[in-house]
Amino acid sequence: MPLGEYERKFERLSRYAPHMVNTELTKAKRFEMGLRPEIKGIMAAQLYTTYAEALRRAQAISNGLGLEKKPMHGVESSEKRKWQGHEGEQDTDEITGILPISNIPAIVLIDSGATHSFISNVFMDKIGNKYEKMNGVLDVSIPSGEIISTNQIVKDINKRQSEQKVKDTSVVQEFDDVFPEDLPGIPLDQQVEFIIDLAPRTAPVSKAPYRMAPKELQELKMQPQELLDKGFIRPSVSPWGAPVLFVKKKDGSMRMCIDYRELNRLTIKNKYPLPRIEDLFDQLKGAKVFSKIDLRSGYHQLKVKGYDIPKTAFRTRYRHYEFTVMPFGLTNAPAVFMDLVN
């Protein structure tokens, strides 16, 4: 909706709810709430106390972003020519975006052609940088035709940012139930199920549990219980049994791993061709957005075929369990997972 049309509609509807716009500041804030996102994002970083001031600034921002599609009068100067009142269309190549500055999202005008970068005082307070007084005054001509003067400068803004994590993305934060870090429970039935084909006349193999340090024994009580609560494993009386060991991760925590080497030795290998790099480049041509998946959550989306569940059994010092979903460490797991992805 164009800003002028929104202003008229806002004024008309305000008459029916005067208690919601009973002060100038309240009316200005209500007006800001209904603005287009690109205008509202810039308005949020500005200070104003009256509705008239908010309207004036919204109009200036709208004109600056080229949202009104009206000719504008400006001042242009160069070594070859100088004129005033030159009339022209708005630049349709103008690009705005949201970029992190010191890890705080900011609306920026990309490749504006300006000789300096300009930032609002409100945003400066957010990122905690200090500004210094200049000896003189710098006049800035903005796209709306207004002249803004400043005598402050910011030095040494941190251009580096920490690694962006998926959980910091606004969409993930808004729909956190859609992007769980771990699957909350047993997955739905898929077209692909994990099957373990063994060589003929194969007898069950059961290995004694490994000896463990006290810290590993503590993890051995907790981690299987987490899988048990989610339904990923269940108590077992299977004649099969693989031992358990723990691997230290980079963050110092311990990951429980099942030693399926004996089972893998008896399994008929599912051979599949690896895609060529040239084919992958053809498939990714023109792609702009890429995603990644936690393989642990990915593997746990696949159920094990009912009659093969006993083969996934593993022994601990305390109990005997078997997997109902595809575990790590099995020789054919990557091929079956690729079938699910494809």
* Pick from 43-52, 192-201, 302-311: least confident: 43-52
Note the pLDDT tens digit of each residue in 228-272.
988 899 999 999 999 999 998 888 889 899 999 999 999 998 776
Cα distances from 152 to residues 95, 112, 249, 314, in angstroms, run 26, 21, 48, 67
- Point out which residues pair with 73 in neighbouring strands: 87
Could you state, in order of their start, the residue ranges of all structural domains in the chain?
3-64, 91-163, 166-341
Note the pLDDT tens digit of each residue in 39-85.
877 777 677 788 888 888 888 888 777 765 544 333 333 333 333 33
- Assigned superfamily of 166-341: HIV Type 1 Reverse Transcriptase, subunit A, domain 1 (3.10.10.10)
Between 56 and 275, the more confident residue is 56
Give the pLDDT score at 103.
67
Minimal CA–CA distance to 144: which of 53, 87, 64? 64
Residue whose tokens read 């908010």: 54
* Whole-number Å distance between alpha carbons of 72 and 76: 12
Cα distances from 14 to residues 2, 6, 19, 127, in angstroms, run 18, 12, 9, 36
Average pLDDT over residues 328-336: 83
Minimal CA–CA distance to 194: which of 293, 301, 296, 295? 301
Q: State the first-to-last Cα distance of the chain, in angstroms, to the nearest integer.
A: 42
Strand order in the sheet with 233-235: 233-235, 320-323, 314-315
Q: Which of 79-83, 174-178, 190-194, 304-308 has the highest average model confidence (pLDDT)?
A: 304-308
* Whole-number Å distance between alpha carbons of 4 and 6: 5
Between 235 and 277, the more confident residue is 235
Share of the chain above pLDDT 90, in %: 16
With 90 as the cut, is the pLDDT of residue 120 above it?
Answer: no
pLDDT band at 291 (very low <50, low <70, confident <90, very high): low
pTM over 0.75: no
